[in-house]
Chains A and B, each alone.
Chain A
Amino acid sequence: MIAEAGHYALVLALGLALIQSTVPLIGARWRDVALMNVARSTALAQLLFVAASFAALVMLHVTSDFSVVNVFENSHSLKPLIYKITGVWGNHEGSMLLWVSILALFGGLVAAFGNNLRLSLRAHVLAVQAWIASAFYLFILITSNPFLRIANPPIEGRDLNPVLQDIGLAVHPPMLYLGYVGFSISFSFAVAALLEGRIDAAWARWVRPWTLMAWIFLTLGIAMGSYWAYYELGWGGWWFWDPVENASLMPWLAGTALLHSAVVMEKRNALKVWTILLAILTFSLSLLGTFLVRSGVLTSVHAFATDPTRGVFILLILCVFIGGSLSLYAWRASALKQGGLFAPISREGALVLNNLFLTTACATVFIGTLYPLALEVLTGDKISVGAPFFNLTFAPLFVPLMVAVPFGPLLAWKRGDLLGAAQRLTAAGIAALIAIAVLWAWTYGGSTLAPVAIGLAVFVIAGAFSDIVERTGLFRIPLKTSLQRAGGLPRATWGTLFAHAGVGVALIGIVCETTWNSEYIGSMKPDDVAKLAGYELKLDGVTQRQGPNFREMVAQFTVKLDGEKLSVMTPSKRNFTTRESSTTEAALLTRGASQLYISLGDTAADGAIAVRIYHKPLVLLIWWGPVLMAFGGTLSLSDRRLRVGAPKPAKAVRGLQAAE
């Protein structure tokens, strides 16, 4: 009954989406207010029905209804409740349902909070949203229905893949989807602007908070996924340049560029055409990511060819939306008037430079991810493109970008003074040089690149603070006045500070982890001691334990520093009987921003156990950086300018009517 209700709710949502994708457009054409307002009510109703459908699937998983294929294949009655819930999106069908739920959520938000949008713009935006939604509802209903039943229900489920039985699954995919799908709003706004053939500053003011929100979630989602991989996979890596990761990095890079070009558009009414293109590209890359991951094309081109139903369907959606929006762009973009002139050396110029580097970086990831696939399809040659390629091509793009980051906020709009900005960055430059000198002397004979890279990061962080110091007159005028000025600064300025500083913080973490990471690999027996980076780790013993749906082998290590006992670490290996597979649960000991990391390997016949111990200096900065960026984004989002939103022209109209 619940499964059928969920299925039916989804069909109804499709019906609503079809209405929403046509009627408001006709309304906009005829200037019929009632027809345009249909968009609002259908968007809200759609949200209601999709939410009901999603709740139904959650219900089926929680109650372990194994008569439903999706539950049978991905759940087990003994699985802890939290994993029964997260298991809903730990599989293809469920994750697609989460995808459309979030799409409907965003559509509902625009409908609910879009009261001060121009009516025809709102109608267009929601109609475009409904096109996307209809395509994906059809995809789910035709190829990936999560509500299918089994004729003879089995008594027990096949359990969820053990690797996914982790709190990471509860946070990572929803965050990521909020980011991915959030960009659909900027896409819809862009297409609506092209359809209407008009775009103004109010448009940018509307698009920016939505883009920012999506960007915040995507940033956190990627960082969270990276940390999850770091502790779950058991070899301490945190970024693999895997195609699946690249699929999420591409929209992030394009989204970051979009965020910055939207600022120019809002403030200076310039870069309109480019901002529209970026909005289209960012969501197109999100769709591409969905295609890459969902179609199985990554695993092998042949796997895709043998079962192409799903892949071809998404490919079709991809072609229609990307091709359609780009054609529309090519046709209509010239109709949009360009405005806001600026000199090359100016805030706008700096933001354009930012866009140049970010889009090039995005293009690099794009070609590196898709080239092997294209080459194999076209010529049959198989090549690999992995971390060494990306490290070599990506880093040179990011170095000049990092150098330029502190200059941007210090340049004036329209016409900036590069020399003046450089003077104001003197302190940051000196800080960077000191950092390089100190590190170089400290690690004398080691890597020369690492101190320079850290110097660059210090420059970015100190540079981010320079703007605030400059604006508050800190150290030049009495402290009290400075503090008052600091309080009066717009929150967006603080947002920029934290977001830019976050980039520097992450860079420090990345450089430290890759350069000064030390590891111990060896076989250990009880009472053996491993020494690493000044720590002494003694293996106390190994015990067996029974978990809810697994058995685990737990090793206990006593960690000592300078002969004093610090803590106890308990890495383990879990065996999941239903799937006959096992996972490595690494043990982590955090010391400041650094971590000790132990993971277990196989046990030898003589009882010795293979152990990997890492000391990762300042590794946590890799994730604190993105958290800072997201915090900066949130501050910026709460800025008064965005809270107040676009001015309401409706009142002015009413005022005029009254005067008549």
Chain B
Amino acid sequence: MWKSRLLLLLACAFAAAPMAGALPAHAVQPDEIMADPVKEARARELSRELRCMVCQNQSIDDSEAPLARDLRLLVRERIAAGDRDGQVIDFLVARYGEFVLLKPRFNPHTMLLWLVPPLALSGGGVALWRYSRRRGKSAGAAAEPASPLTADEKARLERLMTPDQPV
């Protein structure tokens, strides 16, 4: 809790400064790193998707709270035990709930979250298209000349448009 209290303090301290948390020390500690670089890379990748639950929106890869360290070690333990990425995630969700995922799964209660961006884009696109058609039509109607040019007028226009001919 010491961590979240500090974050509260920071959040109260000033508006909109991008400070997700600010303490010394680091996220991944030297003693946590796995010997196999491929597995370590997988662990880092997974860590970025998982939330440190006592922090404000920080991944366990970024956070230096003790809980984040425990979770990082847990992820590495599961990888060392031969789990696939999906299994590691499932294991953590089973233990800590969906709160641990920084990218929520698509299910009924997150449907709106996932659908707003595509719906906003397509809805806006359709609205614009219909609007431009409607306006285009009314404009087309308005722009229609009251009466077409007569043959005489056309000939005069022709003369005006050709530079060398005397008017």
A, B in one complex:
yes
Q: Quote the shortest CB–CB distance from A513 to chain B (angstroms).
A: 15
Task: Flag whether B79 is at the interface (Cβ < 8 A).
Answer: no
Cβ of B33 and Cβ of A225 under 8 Å apart?
no
Give every chain A residue within 8 A of B104 (Cβ-Cβ): 383-385, 389
Known: A245-B18, A521-B26, A581-B6. 8 other contacts (CB 8 A): A91-B13, A173-B14, A235-B26, A242-B57, A298-B56, A343-B136, A360-B120, A384-B57
Known interface pairs A173-B15, A299-B7, A356-B121; A386-B51 also in contact (CB < 8 Å)? yes
Contacts of B85 in A (CB 8 A): none
Residues in A345-367 with C-beta less than 8 Å from chain B: 349, 352, 356-357, 359-360, 363-364, 367
8 Å CB contact of A388 from B21, B97, B102, B110: B102
Which of B111-119, B146-154, B158-166 contacts its partner?
B111-119
Q: What are 17 sample pairs from A and B whose C-beta atoms fall under 8 A apart?
A: A91-B14, A163-B19, A225-B17, A235-B26, A240-B62, A242-B20, A248-B15, A294-B12, A367-B117, A383-B109, A384-B98, A384-B99, A384-B101, A388-B48, A582-B23, A583-B22, A583-B24
Counting chain A residues whose Cβ lies within 8 A of the other chain, the interface size class is 35 or more
Q: How many angstroms between the C-alpha atoms of A237 and B20 in the bound complex? A: 10
* CB atoms of B124 and A303 under 8 A apart: no
Could you tell me if A521 and B33 are in contact, using CB atoms closer than 8 angstroms?
A: yes
Residues of B within 8 A of A599 (CB): 26
A92: nearest chain-B partner, CB-CB = B12
**Is there a chain B Cβ closer than 8 Å to A228's Cβ?**
yes
Q: Does A91 lie within 8 Å of B21, measured CB to CB?
A: no
Q: Are A233 and B16 touching (Cβ within 8 A)? A: no
Instruction: Tell me whether A233 and B101 are in contact (CB under 8 A).
Output: no
Contact check, A228 vs B11: say whether CB atoms are below 8 A apart: no
Give Cα distance in the complex from A234 to B26, angstroms. Answer: 7
Which of A40-48, A201-209, A374-382, A648-656 lies on the face that meets chain B?
A374-382
**0/1 per residue, B31-57, Cβ < 8 Å to A?**
101000000000000001101000011
Whole-angstrom distance between the Cβ of A389 and the nearest chain B Cβ: 5
Q: How many B residues face the partner with a CB closer than 8 A?
A: 59
Which residues of chain A are near B84, meaning CB under 8 Å?
A: none
B86 at the interface (CB under 8 A from A): no
**A225–B13 CA distance with the chains assembled, in angstroms:** 14
**Contact in complex: B62, A229 (CB < 8 Å):** no
- Report how far A232 CA is from B19 CA in the complex, Å: 9
Partner of A248 from the list B16, B22, B125 (CB cut-off 8 Å) is: B16
Q: Which of A89, A226, A242, A383 contacts B99 (CB 8 A)?
A: A383
A334 CB to closest chain B CB (Å) equals: 14
Query: B71 near A: Cβ within 8 Å?
Result: no
Query: How far apart are the CA atoms of A90 and B15 in the complex, in Å?
Result: 9
User: In whole angstroms, how far apart are the Cα atoms of A367 and B113 in the complex?
Assistant: 6
Most buried by A among B48, B98, B124: B124
| Partner-A contacts on B (CB < 8 A) | 4, 6-31, 33, 48-49, 51, 56-59, 62, 97-104, 109-110, 112-113, 116-117, 120-121, 124-125, 128, 132, 135-136, 139
Q: Mark A195-229, 1 if CB is under 8 A from B, else 0.
A: 00000000000000000000000000010011011
A607 part of interface (Cβ distance < 8 Å)? no
Q: How far is the CA of A90 from the CA of B38 in the complex (A)?
A: 44
Q: Is the CB of B113 within 8 A of A371?
A: yes
Contact status B24-A573, CB under 8 Å: yes
Contacts of A229 in B (CB 8 A): 17-20
Contact B113 A344 (CB under 8 A): no
Q: In the complex, A299→B3 CA distance in Å?
A: 11
Q: Once the chains bind, are B8 and A95 in contact (CB under 8 Å)?
A: no
**When A245-B18, A386-B57 are in contact, do A164 and B102 touch as well, CB less than 8 Å?**
no
Q: Which of A244, A383, A386, A573 contacts B11 (CB 8 A)?
A: A244
Whether A161 lies near B10 (C-beta < 8 A) is yes
Q: Does A368 contact B (CB under 8 A)?
A: yes
| Smallest CB gap from B131: residue in A | A352
Contact flags (1/0) for A269-292 with B, using CB distance below 8 Å?
000000000000000000001100
A124 at the interface (CB under 8 A from B): no
Instruction: Assess the B135–A356 pair: CB atoms within 8 A.
Output: no
